[in-house]
Amino acid sequence: MTTATPPAPPRPKDVTEAGRASLEANRRRITRTSYALLAPTIVVMAVIVGYPIVLSVINSFQADARLDPATGFFVTGGFTGLTNYAHWLLQQCSTPAGTAACAQGNLGASFWTATFNTFFFTVITVALETVIGLWMAIIMNRNFRFRGLLRAAVLVPWAIPTAVTAKLFLFIFATAGIINALLGIEVIWGADLWASRFAIIIADTWKTTPFMALLILAGLQLIPEDTYEAARMDGATTVQQFFRITLPLLRPALVVAVLFRTLDALRMYDLPAILTGGGGGRGDATTTLSILVVREIQNTAVNSAAALSTITFLIVFGVAFLFIRVLGANLTGGEKKSKKVAGVR
């Protein structure tokens, strides 16, 4: 009678190779599934976002339809190179009409004034919203009675449509409005240069600060309470806890909140368009780049507006890129360190 010989156990090398092959096959399967799930989104984004951007860039190199002085007929535009871009970037008071407009301080289609206004509104509003939003988030993060009611009430300004907010502040900043009545002043907020700008800043800060507070609150809730208890046991004061614990651990959430809000503020249109019409003090006191684009389209200068849209897109893209490179460099520091350690091992 013969006895069956048990199979020899696999060698460690064979087990390792089989495991690697299984992991590689699993990785390829997950990759294919990921691409299949992302494909519909990529197609929709290409149609909704990619196609308009490409078409806008193509149109920016075309001349707008114009009246031919020789024939008296309108002629369609053709390839004009960088003429549309030069029209905006090299804009100056060189023509007689432009000189007269500049002398009156009413050069309504000034690219550089609109760029200044856009960045001015962005820097001031984002700074105010970050500071006030952080303060609001710290309060809402505490345990107290009716905390849920407070959180819901704080989000009300953000839930109101921007057009409604603009109309609301249009009544508040009217000559006989609430602000002048409470302060006992007679300021024409829609006609004064800096008053109109500050009206935009106040309205936008009131509108969007809850959005910043909500994002920052989400970051605060990820900080373990044990960290603060250990700091209190070591004798750390409230100020020390804020600067040594809260701010460092809150940095990823702050970076995301400030980045999102900055990109949104650089595209500001509806609030100044409704509240001041882009004017105030002078014809372009509160004109932003987005308002300037819409004005060009309304003047049937579609290809010129396409060039300005492309410039605005490049500005927003450049700000986002620099923002992530400067402020978001350490967000993946832990991952890079882990990879480095794994490579050494």
Residue 216 contacts by C-beta under 8 Å, 6 or more apart in sequence? 133, 134, 137, 250, 253, 254, 257
Q: 300, 64 in Cβ contact below 8 A?
A: yes
Q: 269, 309 in Cβ contact below 8 A?
A: no
CB neighbours (10 Å) of residue 81?
10
State the burial class of residue 168 (Cβ atoms within 10 Å of its Cβ: 0-12, 13-18, 19+).
Answer: middle
pLDDT tens string, the chain, 345 residues long: the values are 555 565 555 555 555 777 777 888 888 889 889 889 999 999 998 889 888 888 889 989 988 776 666 666 666 777 888 888 988 888 654 344 444 444 444 444 488 889 999 999 999 999 999 999 999 999 988 888 888 888 888 889 998 999 999 999 999 998 888 888 888 888 888 888 888 899 999 999 999 999 999 999 999 998 888 888 898 898 888 888 999 999 999 988 898 899 999 999 999 998 999 988 877 666 678 899 999 999 888 888 888 899 999 999 999 999 988 888 877 644 444 444 444 433 433
Amino acid at 142: R
Tell me the two tokens of residue 135: 């303060």
Q: Which fold would CATH assign to domain 110-327? A: MetI-like fold (1.10.3720)
The DSSP secondary structure of 73-138, one letter per residue, reads SEE---B-TTHHHHHHHT--S-SHHHHHHHHTT--TT-HHHHHHHHHHHHHHHHHHHHHHHHHHHH
- Measured CA to CA in angstroms, residue 107 lies from 89, 144, 282, 292, 296 at distances of 15, 54, 8, 12, 14
Of 336, 287, 337, give the one whose Cα is nearest residue 312: 287
| Rounded CA separation 159/318 (Å) | 30
Whether the full predicted model's pTM is greater than 0.85, yes or no, is: no
| Rounded CA separation 186/26 (Å) | 72
In the chain, what are the domain boundaries?
110-327
| Rounded CA separation 5/11 (Å) | 17
Of 76, 80, 101, give the one whose Cα is nearest residue 91: 101
